[in-house]
Amino acid sequence: MHVETESGNRLYGLPFKASCKSLVWFDLAKFRRLGLPPPGSWAPWQWPVLLDRLARSGTHPLALGAADGWMLADFFANVLLAQSPDAYESVVSPNDWRPGQRRAEITRALETLAGIWGFPNAFPGSIGRALTQQFPDAVREVFAKGDAAMVVAPDFAEPIVRSCFRGDDVAMKQAVGVSLFPSIIPGFRDGPVIGGGDIMVLTRSAKDAAAELIRLLSLPDAPDSWIGQEGGFIAPDLRTRPAYSAMLEPLGPRVRSWTEFDLADRIGSRGGDNPLWGIITQFLMDLDGNPADSSQRAAAAVRTAVDAVYELERTRQG
């Protein structure tokens, strides 16, 4: 990233690491044993049936690191974008769309999410345990403990996945599946692809050595060791080959062909420290309780979350 100044072409920073936030990592062996299609091919009406098949097999369908609010916000963002790209964009730019229709689409996305997260025995240890669990442990619940069948997590889950197999590439290949988040719009083949990333920025007080480090990291082959050895790294530089690890290769270039940028980051830049995290975390907490009144609780949780999103929009506009 260079900016032209009176003194010439000055280096300010480098977009160094990209991330695909629309991946589902799953226990491939378990899915094959049960005759289940990969999560990326699940149609919306199949979710309840397939979640039930997983639960009846003696495993919990999902792992969730809800102590890391970004995992919850990413899950919601994928559901929202999969159901209504217009509504996804409107949350960031609320003046760009019809308010009534936007509210209906956001409500529908949260209802879909409530049906997934509120599914009986969806998580090992129920929602209460999920709320205290962080991202790495959610990944380990699938591939180290075998307590859950899948986890919605970005590409940088890969080093954690690899660590579960302690260098046994054969076992890992037989056990690990990864797919893109499914489409929730009937008739559409492609689901959402949400991106994120990290930019290395030179501060005003940075020394020459910092600028030299960024220059070296800008070379096309700089990310090679991260990509080839540990994975969990996507290169935004189009000159870098390969751009992502062999584990993600079956998904093709879509893993870095984003349709939208991280929703929580786009809201957080104007609304504070990622306020969407708090809204969706409270939403999950509101789903927890006695299964006997789950329908009423889910409806109340959806209304509360929609109101919170709208209050966030009102605050940003004020």
Per DSSP, the residues of the chain read -EEEETTEEEE-EEEEEEEE--EEEEEHHHHHHHTPPPGGG--GGGHHHHHHHHHHTTSEEEE--TTSHHHHHHHHHHHHHHH-HHHHHHHHSGGGS-HHHHHHHHHHHHHHHHHHHTSTT-STTHHHHHTT--HHHHHHHHHTS--EEEEE--GGGHHHHHHTTTT-HHHHHHHEEEEEPPP-STT------EEEEEEEE--TT--HHHHHHHHHHTSTTTTHHIIIII---B---TT-SSSS-GGGGGGGGGGG--SEE-HHHHHHHHHSS-HHHHHHHHHHHHH-S-GGGHHHHHHHHHHHHHHHHHHHHHHHH-
pTM over 0.85: yes
pLDDT of residue 100: 82
Residues 262-307: tens digit of each pLDDT: 998 887 545 456 789 999 999 999 999 887 788 999 999 999 999 9
Q: What is the pLDDT of residues 135-151, one digit of tens each?
A: 999 999 999 999 999 99
- Of 212, 243, 260, the C-alpha closest to 17 is 243
The pLDDT value recorded for residue 5 is 35
pLDDT digits (tens, 9 = 90+) for 209-268: 988 998 899 999 999 999 998 899 999 998 999 999 999 998 988 898 888 999 988 875
The whole-number pLDDT of residue 3 equals 35
Cβ density class 29-42: b for 16+ within 10 Å, e for less:
ebbeeeebebbbeb
The pairing of strands 260-261 and 194-201 is parallel
**CA nearest 39: which of 23, 53, 52, 55?**
23
Average pLDDT, rounded, for the chain: 88
Residue entry with tokens 């929730």:
184
Q: List, for residues 29-82, the tens digit of each pLDDT value.
A: 999 999 999 998 887 778 888 999 999 999 999 999 999 999 999 999 999 999
pLDDT of 317 above 70:
no
Q: What is residue 4's predicted lDDT score, i.e. its pLDDT?
A: 36
Token pair for residue 190? 């492609």
Tell me the domains of the chain and their CATH numbers.
19-192 (3.40.190.10)
Q: Which of 86-95, 148-157, 278-287, 302-311 has the lowest mean pLDDT?
A: 86-95
Predicted confidence at residue 197, as pLDDT, reads 87
Note the pLDDT of residue 292.
73
